[in-house]
Structure 1
Amino acid sequence: MATTEVEKRRGQTATLSIAAMVILVGLPLWWRTTETYRAWLPVSQIKEMANLQLKLSADVEIIFARGTVTPEQQKKVPLTRTQEEEHVVNEDTSLKYRYETKYRTATIMEEDALDQPTAAEADLSLHKLSESPCGSLVIYVIPESSSLLPEDVDVYVGQRRTALLRMSSQMRVGKTMKQLLAHLEPRIKQVLQVMSFSHTDIAAALSDRVRLSPDSKGSIADSMRAFKSSQGYEITFSLLNPDPKSHRLHWDIEGAVQTYAQPLLAKLAPLANFSIDSQILYYAMLGVNPRFDSSSHAYTLNSDSLAHVINPVEARLGSNAASSNPVLNFLLYVPDAHHSPLHIQDHKKKRVPSNAFHSPRWGGIMIYNVNDLYGTEVEFPVDVDINMGKVMGVFLAQLRLLLGVQPPAPPAGFLLAPSSSEGIADWELDRLMWSRSVENVATATTTITSLAQLLDQIANIVINDNIAQQVSSAVTSVQLAVAELEAGNLNFALQYSKEAILASQTAFFDPSLLHLLYFPDDQKFAIYIPLFLPMCVPIVLSLFKIMAELRRKRKEKQAKKD
């Protein structure tokens, strides 16, 4: 009897010991070893990023040339003046624009630079004296008697970051300096809208984040036409020869790229990396049958049918699988002898002067006619030397549109300097850099906040140290970019914004985020229960027996007392 009691107690002790080991050691160890690893993320800073508060700042210098202000007015020229504008886009996004304007009179060297025959030469001479920082503007106020500007022009916008503003003599005489600046302010605002950032451009850069107002339809169209910001772009020039038996085409694409495209791409280098390749495709047809116009004795392509031209050709272009960068396609199509000449007509049935069209976020196509080489005794194939200057002029104009380089329509009295060999003015590059910086910051914040929301909703996604590092780097870069935009340091703001969008996309598209995405807790328990249940059932039943035995003994003791 004693032996049975001892064995029973020994069994109860063993059961309790095993149950204690399972509960105190086994379950925590199992929970710890099977839990999803989640590195620390700056959640509070990410939540603050959801409310995007941007403040753009630009330095403006107003310089009065000789003959624009009197000696008394010159003594009262203010040193600096700050103007701020605020636009509340929605509850999550607000924009502030600040112009810090400095005033002074021209130096002797600047007066000599302004004493040039033409405005273009004066712009070059002023640029040689001092180069304005990226994102800043210099406006020279010149007298009415100056011969730099034509009579019907009040403002000349040069290739650099300089503008010439004519001031009439009636504005100067009998006016105080305060009144003089008040009269100049409307024109100065117009110059800033043309040469610096504008609300329409910045709002268009935020088009994926906010809903634009109806008065921004032009900005929406421009933003939808241009490629989104990217770390790099692949540019492909293709020559389409539908009938090699008719034409033997020769194009110096390598020389044309070096002469015409490289200066523009070198200036756009701060925005992205560009790679260029070319190809010749034989027997490549447009896929649309042109119509013969008897009145002009030429074949025509209507604007309505241009949308059907790209798909058949695109199948022959090949894919750039080695890079994930967007591809800009520029196609030169030489019609065969049976469909020459071939012209593109707009909606008003008028010929397009460039004989080319472009497709938003895809590229452009130009039709190159060689019908003047055909004669009664022509021998096929005809050797054709393509005029690359004409072709690259059209392609570079399309490239500007596809990259978002679209100067605004100048107000009345404005004269914009013609394009230089670089293909883009300094102030046009600044406008694009402002827009791309804001776009990058907005995209990075949206990506990071979306990733944080996803990780918060799905608790079993692994957050490894690399993802946490990329997220922290993106948050830091966004904060630095916003600070540099507020300080007016456009170069640094663009660089930090590029780092932010690269880090945010690297974290968002990391493959490790999908490892446990389809392994939720219910599946985890379904796997482990068959393993632990056979071991746990005897322990649980033994615990029930122990509890029943204790309850029985307690009742017996109670009965003896009664």
Structure 2
Amino acid sequence: MAETEATSDSPQTNNQQLNEEESEIDKVNKQNENKKLHDLLMFNTIYYILVFVIVGLPIWFFTTSTYRASLPFDSIDKLTESLQKIDFKIQVELIHFNKDISQDNLSKIRDELLRNLNKNSKQKGLVLNFDLKTRKATSDEYNSALGFRDIQTFDENIANKNLNILNLIVLDSDLSKKYEILDNSEFLFLNSLLLNEINIKNLEKIAEYLKKQYLHLEKINEEYRLKLDTERRLPSKKDLKVVNFDSEYEITFSLINEIPEKYSNWNIDECIRSYFLKVTDQLSQFVNFSIKAQTLLYSDFGSYSLSSYKSDNDPFFYLKQTDLSIMTNYIESRLGSRISDSSAFEFVTYISAKQPLYVATNSQNPQETKSVSFMVPRWGGIYVYNPQDDNPEDSTIKVDKAMKTFLTHFITLMGIDLNKNSKTVPRSRIYSPEIYGYLLEKTLENQLNSINTLRSLSLLLTRINSMVIEDDIAEQVKIAVESVEKSLELGSDGRISEAFLNSKTAFISSERAFFDKSLLEKLYFPEDQRFAIYIPLFIPVGIPLVLSIKSVMAWIKSKKEKKD
């Protein structure tokens, strides 16, 4: 019996042992499976972290960052500091036509005149350094001077053709009589400053004339200091009158003809060749001009603006000065001045159906204040053509008088100061010193405007870090900086023509860079708004990955411990 019980308990015990072993195996298998899942989870976490760091962050960085080409900010700051003091050398050559004058006397004249020229020239803004050379006229020059028929021919042949050099010519007694420069107060301003042996003795007065009236240096320096004043809000009087500087100007001559059945043609081509081309050719090496003419038939200023002056002897119609700006605006849209991007001059010849017609500066007394023309600041001029005064019989309109008036308007609107002589001398062109003064003033203006534009652009790009700086903009800025630096260097060396051309390049390049459309192609959000956009996108992904880094580090550590 006992044996039977023992054999019957044995299978039950074995089953229990088997069950326990199976449960242990299952437990181990589960642990292994959990371990594999945990390892897989860690691998997945590491994978996502790597993808986030290696792929996600660079993509985010490159898609949110802006391209900014390097700019010469340090050079711009140096140029800004240089505005307070700009050196300019003015080269002057004195030619004495007295064959008997000694070299010692010439040297004394040179030293004394140079001392007076450089007196009070070192002020804030423009610092003028005069370089004076003296010489006696050669025998060929003197013999040629005796044979010239008038002073204009003498001046054109003797004066130095180099625009960078100003000329003073002292005539001896014979030449002074021949060309009628006899008075000790007479100075003749042509391509050279012509003097006689009497007024050359007053070198202080000559220096004053040379600086104030011949080159208008005090005006130029005062204009520069006004523009240099950053607190000044209003433009100067000259700025309100002169057309804005440009590399190319468009000149348009318009004939507004209310009575084409009487007057059908005008001699505009002949007048442009006779008057304007001489002046524009002189300036063509510095700025470009395009000239065109047009005729507008049955177009007027608006007859509502005409007033009448009734008189038995001389009745006429007149335009009030107070209505001139309104009338100019009335016709401006018909002239096509907005077609071109270049700065434009508009010169209008007006033939009214109501004759005669004048412009009255004082409507209370139109008879005494009537005229036939007026200049519009920064725009052009208008000439009222009365056939009975200018061309009573011919059907072709002769606009010679109008063109002479327009030429004066044009020179004024360009900002060229004309010299006034003590005696009347016929002229048909601009003289070299007048061009010199224009180039000097515009060189300073271009340098100042270019540096101010570059400084404004520099401040803008420094404050807005997210603003794109394309390579084209960077190239224009570099050209502008290099051109300004070159212009300053050439000016201090007395090479006004080259200094002007470089200043023009600097002005154009700086304007192109500042007004480049790529600077405003994108919207630039403040940093807080940018984070407000990106945070909702990155936090749901970023926080779980950051928190799982601790688990990954612990897992890697346990792996290393097991290996050890």
TM-score by length of 2: 0.81
Does the C-alpha gap of structure 1 residues 139 and 416 become closer, same or farther in structure 2, counting only changes over 3 Å?
farther
Partner of 1:61: 93
Q: Tell me the distance in 2 between the aligned counterparts of 1:488 and 1:372.
A: 49
Structure 1: which amino acid aligns with 2:212?
Answer: Q
Q: Assess if the C-alpha contact under 8 Å between 2:99 and 2:136 holds in 1.
A: no
Q: Assess if the C-alpha contact under 8 Å between 2:69 and 2:470 holds in 1.
A: yes
Q: Assess if the C-alpha contact under 8 Å between 2:171 and 2:196 holds in 1.
A: yes
Could you give the per-residue CA deviations for residues 461-481 of structure 1, whole angstroms, max 9, x where no partner exists? 111111111111110000001
Q: Tell me the distance in 2 between the aligned counterparts of 1:386 and 1:212.
A: 51
Q: Tell me the distance in 2 between the aligned counterparts of 1:318 and 1:142.
A: 52
Unaligned runs of 5+ in 2: 1-29, 559-564
Does the C-alpha gap of structure 1 residues 205 and 262 become closer, same or farther in structure 2, counting only changes over 3 Å?
farther
Q: Tell me the distance in 1 between the aligned counterparts of 2:231 and 2:432.
A: 28
Unaligned runs of 5+ in 1: 173-179, 376-381, 554-562
Partner of 2:378: 361
Alpha-carbon distance, 1:130 to partner: 6.0
Number of equivalences: 514
When structure 1 is superposed on structure 2, of 183-192 and 455-464 the one drifting more is: 183-192
Could you give the per-residue CA deviations for residues 197-233 of structure 1, whole angstroms, max 9, x where no partner exists? 51312443565543699xxx9x932332111210111
Alpha-carbon distance, 1:240 to partner: 0.8
Q: Assess if the C-alpha contact under 8 Å between 1:331 and 1:366 holds in 2.
A: yes
Partner of 2:322: 304
Q: Identify the match of residue 50 of structure 1 among 69, 80, 84.
A: 80
Q: More helix by proportion, 1 or 2?
A: 2
Q: Identify the match of residue 405 of structure 1 among 406, 416, 437.
A: 416
Partner of 1:37: 67
Alignment partner of 1:229 is 2:245: yes
Partner of 2:273: 258
Q: Assess if the C-alpha contact under 8 Å between 1:333 and 1:367 holds in 2.
A: yes
Partner of 1:136: 165
Q: Secondary structure at the match of 2:518?
A: helix
Partner of 2:333: 315
Partner of 1:344: 359
Q: Assess if the C-alpha contact under 8 Å between 2:373 and 2:381 holds in 1.
A: yes
Alpha-carbon distance, 1:238 to partner: 0.9
Structure 2: which amino acid aligns with 1:154?
Answer: S
Q: Assess if the C-alpha contact under 8 Å between 2:99 and 2:137 holds in 1.
A: no
Q: Identify the match of residue 460 of structure 2 among 443, 447, 454.
A: 454
Alpha-carbon distance, 1:154 to partner: 3.4
Alpha-carbon distance, 1:131 to partner: 2.8
Alignment partner of 1:186 is 2:202: no
Q: Tell me the distance in 1 between the aligned counterparts of 2:147 and 2:223.
A: 39
Q: Assess if the C-alpha contact under 8 Å between 2:253 and 2:292 holds in 1.
A: yes
- Percent same amino acid among aligned pairs? 28
Could you give the per-residue CA deviations for residues 177-209 of structure 1, whole angstroms, max 9, x where no partner exists? xxx5xx323223312433335131244356554
Partner of 2:3: none
Q: Tell me the distance in 2 between the aligned counterparts of 1:59 and 1:212.
A: 34
Q: Assess if the C-alpha contact under 8 Å between 1:123 and 1:158 holds in 2.
A: no
Partner of 2:426: 418
Could you give the per-residue CA deviations for residues 75-107 of structure 1, whole angstroms, max 9, x where no partner exists? 866589575454555xxxx21011111223332
Q: Identify the match of residue 505 of structure 1 among 487, 511, 532.
A: 511
Q: Assess if the C-alpha contact under 8 Å between 2:337 and 2:344 holds in 1.
A: no
Partner of 2:6: none
Structure 2: which amino acid aligns with 1:140?
Answer: I
Does the C-alpha gap of structure 1 residues 14 and 374 become closer, same or farther in structure 2, counting only changes over 3 Å?
closer
TM-score by length of 1: 0.81
Alignment partner of 1:100 is 2:119: no
Structure 1: which amino acid aligns with 2:209?
Answer: Q
Map residues 490-529 of structure 1 onto 2, 5 A cutoff.
490-519=496-525, 521=527, 524-525=530-531, 528-529=534-535
Larger Rg: 2
Does the C-alpha gap of structure 1 residues 434 and 249 become closer, same or farther in structure 2, counting only changes over 3 Å?
same
Q: Identify the match of residue 273 of structure 1 among 281, 288, 291.
A: 288
Could you give the per-residue CA deviations for residues 28-81 of structure 1, whole angstroms, max 9, x where no partner exists? 452134311101111100111112132121111223332784687458665895
Q: Assess if the C-alpha contact under 8 Å between 1:249 and 1:383 holds in 2.
A: no
Q: Secondary structure at the match of 1:317?
A: coil
Alpha-carbon distance, 1:396 to partner: 1.1
Partner of 1:196: 215
Map residues 377-388 of structure 1 onto 2, 5 A cutoff.
384-388=395-399
Structure 2: which amino acid aligns with 1:395?
Answer: F
Alpha-carbon distance, 1:542 to partner: 3.6
Could you give the per-residue CA deviations for residues 491-529 of structure 1, whole angstroms, max 9, x where no partner exists? 111111111112111211211111224455556555555
Q: Tell me the distance in 1 between the aligned counterparts of 2:431 and 2:488.
A: 25
Does the C-alpha gap of structure 1 residues 68 and 364 become closer, same or farther in structure 2, counting only changes over 3 Å?
farther
Does the C-alpha gap of structure 1 residues 493 and 62 become closer, same or farther in structure 2, counting only changes over 3 Å?
same
Alpha-carbon distance, 1:16 to partner: 4.5
Q: Identify the match of residue 481 of structure 2 among 466, 475, 478.
A: 475
Q: Identify the match of residue 439 of structure 1 among 442, 445, 450.
A: 445
Partner of 2:307: 291
Partner of 2:352: 335
Q: Secondary structure at the match of 1:279?
A: strand
Q: Tell me the distance in 2 between the aligned counterparts of 1:486 and 1:517.
A: 44
Does the C-alpha gap of structure 1 residues 269 and 29 become closer, same or farther in structure 2, counting only changes over 3 Å?
same
Q: Assess if the C-alpha contact under 8 Å between 1:345 and 1:352 holds in 2.
A: yes
Q: Tell me the distance in 1 between the aligned counterparts of 2:88 and 2:366.
A: 45
When structure 1 is superposed on structure 2, of 518-527 and 220-229 the one drifting more is: 518-527
Partner of 2:194: 164
Alpha-carbon distance, 1:332 to partner: 0.7
